[in-house]
Chain A
């Protein structure tokens, strides 16, 4: 029988934080009782949330102090509006003062809240700048992806600005969502209804194989907790050399896979013997496969 487990995918933002951080260690900033709600949504006749769809605060992972944020995908798909963005940017800026061991961002979002248009866009810029400031100060920023909304739009750019990304295979990471691509490029280019296609193109396994995600875990809050704890010291260099190396990597990747039509062809080219099986295997078997491909197997 399948053992009982605590799904990260199904948990609320608060339940995710509760499971990820040491028991009882979380202290929320600007919580629901403060009622900091969007100033824009009421004008459009839209409902508001008392936390504007994001939980931010401080806590500990294995006794080490961290700042943490979790987007609530259940409110407007975790979309980023003015208050939501300010809470996230503010949390990151606080890290410069309190010097935690890391900042952990649980992302579950379609990107900018279109209802708040420019306010959301400005927030994205501020968050991204704050991520770089925190990293420049030597504090690692870890992105965690495993919610229903995946990590799209501006949020995907924030994720890729972090030191590390931990994800479950149910997670997705992409700038444009499947429906957007289908609408712009046509169904022949991308069929948004074909969920298997969506996941093998934007899903975490593919993103791991092409080097955009660092760690894949099963959809289990404990597994996420372990992976985040292991990444607390994994700061990535943020200097000109690192940037040039990344640009070179992307240029090589583009040249190598430019004409490829399906993720499975990329996997085959990367040396996967049975690309048709990649989507179906569990996280631990997948990680063994990645270790073999990257030559890191002990």
Chain B
């Protein structure tokens, strides 16, 4: 064998040698791993190369905001045509770099507040969208074809060797760090403080290339705080139906909750309504969900035994630390979240329940509406049938019996959408055709941005009743089951009364009286906590809500 045949590429360590060169340029500038904040932009010009794939850590809560601004300040003639691969486009500098030509291509999951501007930049040809991913999908591609060359991350503290303590909010960090550090990528961390010894090593220092102490602590948004004061009687009614018609019926013990007021209502009537039904210990024992303050009464009254979190929530730190039997707490006494693991736990749970903005007659749902490009969050992975699953549980098997009435026994994950028939502004939730179709054209996407596909969905809960799609045999039946709970929307008014009655007899449509839900009891009086202050009381003063939620 001659030398030319056993090496088709000539060399096998170009990435590693390129990494060494970048680090040498960085060190020549900064002198050490710990870089002064004033030199951050210069550091980026030294280590980032044109065309690099780059990840700027940012999720719903935590953001590498200082590094993001520093990147927006680099000279576009030195750093340009970057390919951004990050979950969340939330801050103005994330899009400034596209406006100035520093970045060109984008793969992302979510663009909440920047959704409108992103849409404009796509139209103007400044942003070339690779795809709108789900979180797990993008993380997975970090380990496939979208590994970042440079990642900018945020942590709570670092020591001088670069060991990082992320604090309770770990979220995307492990996925980004693992992919970048182990394929010769550059990892730059902004930290709130540099200390002699970190409380806990979440990221080993030899994976980290450079550390910058940011002038201000990284931004954290309290996104999972729901003021019980805003929960309506209708939401309580829907929550009662979910508890009786789904949680009790199937015996759901392991589940994932979305983060809206609808699911908050469920959490807040566990200690009252579900307790009276004798369901403590029988439902809602293990959850994959963020440490939402509305969970406090259910935890305190012994409903929930364990919660794994994707992120953290401002004000919940002390409470969570004091409940180490429930949350995943390190030896240092603080929580460690991990979005990948939480998503996986939710993927293999028995039930996902969330909300959406539009549902069509097949049960496809989307949160994308006209002229906004927001993405989906965690719902597509949580809210999908996990076909890799092989372990049984009563809920999964019972749903499987309903879904597969003939042939080989199989289980089925319960995927539930909980919606009111009309949204704010009296626009109907149920539509013949999703806005997503128009978005596909507007943004030149290969497929409409659907959040949860109809064939993954098992139940729709509205204030009118529950549609059990598992018990529908044809698309025509499915459409009628959906019309049957769609209230006074156009879609609902076109129901075929005879078919709806037949579906109701079969249990494919259930109304509150069919499952023993007394509508007269559906009021805020059922909520175990009716205000943020009540949550503080339930927590024994351990929950410290952000000022914006305090009316005292």
Residues of A whose CB lies within 8 Å of any CB of B are: 1-2, 4, 7, 9-10, 169-170, 193-197, 199, 203, 205, 279-280
Known: A1-B301, A2-B538. A7 touches B550 (CB 8 A): no
Q: Is B11 located at the chain interface by the 8 A CB criterion?
A: no
Evaluate whether A194 and B547 lie within 8 angstroms (CB atoms) in the complex, with A2-B534, A280-B552 already known: yes
Bound CA–CA A199/B533 (angstroms): 13
Select the residue from A2, A10, A279, A280 with max chain B CB neighbours within 10 A: A2
Contact status of A170 and B551, CB under 8 A, knowing A2-B534, A2-B538 = yes
The verdict on B530 contacting chain A, using a C-beta distance below 8 Å, is yes
- Chain A residues within an 8 Å CB radius of B229: 10
- Cross-chain contact B552 with A2 (CB below 8 angstroms): no
When the two chains form the complex, which single residue of A10, A170, A194, A280 contacts B524, counting CB atoms closer than 8 Å? A10
Complexed CA–CA distance, A101 and B201 (Å): 70
Q: Is B514 an interface residue (CB 8 A)?
A: no
Min CB gap B549→A, angstroms? 7
* B550 adjacent to A193 (CB under 8 Å): no
CB B165 to nearest CB in A, in angstroms, measures 28
Q: Which 5 A-B pairs have the closest CB atoms?
A: A196-B547, A196-B550, A195-B550, A194-B547, A199-B552
A170 CA to B550 CA in the complex, in Å?
10
Q: Mark B527-552, 1 if CB is under 8 A from A, else 0.
A: 01111001011100100000111111
Give, as a whole number of angstroms, the nearest-CB distance from A272 to chain B.
Answer: 16
Is B548 a contact of A2 with CB atoms below 8 Å? no
Instruction: Count chain A CB atoms within 10 A of each CB in B297, B528, B551, B552 and give the residue with the most.
Output: B552
Candidates A9, A205, A279; contact of B550 at CB < 8 Å: A279
Between-chain CB contacts (< 8 Å), 13 pairs? A2-B528, A4-B525, A10-B229, A169-B552, A170-B551, A193-B548, A195-B547, A197-B547, A199-B550, A199-B552, A203-B552, A205-B552, A280-B536
A279 to B530, Cβ gap below 8 A? no
- Residues of B at under 8 Å CB distance from A? 229, 271, 297, 300-301, 524-525, 528-531, 534, 536-538, 541, 547-552
Chain A residues with Cβ below 8 Å from B541 are 280
Partner of B297, one of A2, A10, A196: A2
Contact residues in B for A1 (Cβ distance below 8 Å): 271, 297, 300-301, 528
Bound-state Cα–Cα, A279 to B544, Å: 12
Closest CB of chain A to B229's CB: distance in Å? 8
Chain A interface mostly helix, strand, loop or mixed? loop
Give the residue name and chain of the B residue nearest to A282 (CB).
B537
Once the chains are docked, how many angstroms separate the CA of A263 from the CA of B315?
Answer: 23
> A193 to chain B: which residues have CB within 8 Å?
548
CB-defined contacts of A7 to chain B, threshold 8 Å: 530
Question: Among the interface residues A1, A4, A194, which one has the most CB atoms of the partner chain B within 10 A?
Answer: A1
Q: B551 touches which one: A2, A4, A199, A280 (CB < 8 A)?
A: A199
Q: Which residue of B lies closest to A197 (CB)?
A: B547
Q: CB-nearest residue of chain A relative to B275? A: A1
Contacts of B551 in A (CB 8 A): 170, 195, 199
Task: Please report the C-alpha to C-alpha distance between residue A65 and residue B165 in the assembled complex, in whole angstroms.
Answer: 67
Contacting residues, chain B, for A197 (C-beta < 8 A): 547
Nearest Cβ in chain B — how far from A11, in angstroms? 10
* Chain B min CB distance to A155 (Å): 19
User: Cα distance A205–B538 when bound, in Å?
Assistant: 22
CB distance from A78 to the nearest CB of B (A): 17
Contact in complex: A195, B548 (CB < 8 Å): yes
- Report how far A141 CA is from B528 CA in the complex, Å: 36
Query: Quick check: B549 and A195 within 8 Å, CB to CB?
Result: yes
Residue of A nearest to B523 (CB): A10
The chain B residue sitting closest to A278, CB to CB, is B552
Using Cβ atoms and an 8 Å threshold, which residues of chain B touch A195? 547-551
The residues of B that contact A10 with a CB separation of less than 8 Å are 229, 524, 530
Bound CA–CA A10/B228 (angstroms): 12
Question: Assuming A7-B530, A10-B524, is B550 touching A2 (CB within 8 A)?
Answer: no
- Alpha-carbon distance A2/B229, docked complex (angstroms): 16
Chain A's closest residue to B526 (CB) is A4
Asked if B549 and A2 make an inter-chain contact with CB atoms under 8 angstroms apart, the answer reads no
B263 shortest CB reach to chain A, Å: 20
In this complex, what residue of A is CB-closest to B300? A1
Q: How far is the CA of A193 from the CA of B548 in the complex (A)?
A: 6
B545 (CB) vs chain A CBs: closest residue: A196
What's the least CB distance linking A218 to chain B, in Å? 11
Other A-B pairs, 18, CB within 8 Å; known A196-B552, A280-B536: A1-B271, A1-B297, A2-B297, A2-B528, A2-B529, A4-B525, A9-B531, A10-B229, A10-B530, A170-B552, A195-B547, A195-B548, A195-B549, A196-B547, A197-B547, A199-B551, A199-B552, A280-B552
Closest beta carbon of chain A to B33's beta carbon, Å: 39
Chain A residues with CB under 8 Å of B528's CB are 1-2
**A169 contacts across to B, CB distance below 8 A:** 552
Contacts of A194 in B (CB 8 A): 547-548
Inter-chain contacts of B552 with A (CB < 8 A): 169-170, 196, 199, 203, 205, 279-280
Q: How far is the CA of A65 from the CA of B552 in the complex (A)?
A: 34
Residues of A within 8 A of B538 (CB): 2
Nearest-neighbor residue (CB-CB) of A277 within chain B? B541
The answer for the CA separation of A179 and B550 in the assembled complex, in Å, is: 16
| C-alpha spacing A10/B523, complex, angstroms | 11
CB distance from A107 to the nearest CB of B (A): 17
| Inter-chain contacts of A196 with B (CB < 8 A) | 547, 550, 552
Question: Within the assembled complex, what's the spacing in Å between the Cα atoms of A153 and B426?
Answer: 33
Can you name the residue of chain A whose Cβ is closest to the Cβ of B528?
A2
A195 to B547, CA, bound (A): 6
CB distance from A251 to the nearest CB of B (A): 30
Contacts of A280 in B (CB 8 A): 536, 541, 552
List A contacts of B549 (CB < 8 A).
Answer: 195
Question: How far apart are the CA atoms of A194 and B546 in the complex, in Å?
Answer: 9
CA–CA, A196 to B534, complex, Å? Answer: 16
- B524: which A residues are within 8 A, CB to CB? 10
> Cα distance A52–B530 when bound, in Å?
28
Distance A193 CA – B538 CA, assembled complex (angstroms): 25
A-chain residues with CB within 8 Å of residue B530 when the two chains form the complex = 7, 10
With both chains docked as a complex, state the minimum distance between the C-beta of A223 and any C-beta of chain B, in angstroms: 15
User: How far apart sit A279 and B541, CA to CA, in the bound complex (Å)?
Assistant: 12
What is the CA–CA distance of A205 and B271 in the complex, to the nearest angstrom?
31
Contacts of A170 in B (CB 8 A): 551-552
**Within 8 Å CB of B297, what residues of A?**
1-2
CA distance in complex: A205, B550 (Å): 14
A193 and B546 CA atoms in complex are apart in Å by 11
Task: Give the residue among A196, A197, A279 with the most B Cβ atoms within 10 A.
Answer: A196
The answer for the CA separation of A4 and B271 in the assembled complex, in Å, is: 12
Q: Which residue of chain B lies nearest to A4 when distances are taken between CB atoms in the complex?
A: B525
Point out the residues of chain B lying under 8 angstroms from A4, CB to CB. Answer: 525
- Give the complex CA separation of A169 and B536 in angstroms: 15
**CB proximity of A227 to chain B, nearest CB, Å:** 18
**Measured CA separation A130–B9 after assembly (Å):** 96
Bound form: Cα–Cα A170–B551 in Å: 6
State the CA gap A10–B551 with chains docked (Å).
14
CA of A196 to CA of B544, assembled, Å:
12
Query: Which residue on chain A has the smallest CB distance to residue B550?
Result: A196
Nearest residue in A to B529 (C-beta to C-beta)?
Answer: A2
The residues of A that contact B529 with a CB separation of less than 8 Å are: 2
